Amino acid sequence: MIHGLLWLPLLMAFILIASLGWIERRRQNLYLVWAKGSELAKLDGTGAARLKAGILCWSSFEAGSFKEEATFEVKKLEMVELMALSSGEAPLTKESEGRCRLRLVGSGREIDVPFSDAERARQWMEKLMSRARCDL
């Protein structure tokens, strides 16, 4: 009986890990449907983003679906800045890594798109500016 009680916490940990894996798999499948046909798309810990037909849209995952946070028209993009995620208005240096945000400026609006990886954010920054130039 004691041996059975020793295995009970391991069984609970297995059930917890399996259910978390199922939730993540469900999130990824929903993302694939949501991002289908996009020119650019990303899914990370901060949410999902896609560029489709010149409109950049980003969402967060809530209650089994993607909840749209905001949209931005790429051809109205004037400037993209890489900013620190939580330290106010501090721009990110080239050596910085980790969580950050892209600040999109255009048409009198400033909108922040969060990223969990600075390298991916830099790649997105270049691609968005090239798309904005192509649409002009």
Taking all residues of the chain, what is their mean pLDDT, rounded to a whole number?
A: 83
pLDDT of 88 strictly over 70: no
pLDDT in tens, 25-56: 998 999 999 889 988 899 988 889 998 888 88
> Under DSSP, is residue 7 helix (H, G, I), strand (E, B) or coil?
helix
Ranking 17-31, 47-61, 80-94, 102-116 by mean pLDDT, the lowest is 80-94
Listed in sequence order, the residues at least 6 apart from 69 whose beta carbon sits closer than 8 Å to its beta carbon are 47, 58, 59, 60
Could you tell me which residue, 30 or 92, shows the higher pLDDT?
30
pTM over 0.85: no
Longest Cα separation, the chain: 74
pLDDT of 134 strictly over 60: no
> Under DSSP, is residue 109 helix (H, G, I), strand (E, B) or coil?
strand
- Class of domain 2-135 as given by CATH: mainly beta
What is the C-alpha to C-alpha distance for residues 93 and 48, in angstroms, rounded to an integer? 24
| 75 close to 132: Cβ distance less than 8 angstroms | yes
Could you tell me which residue, 87 or 69, shows the higher pLDDT?
69
Structure tokens at 111: 């909108």
CA pseudo-torsion sign 96, 28, 42, 83 = negative
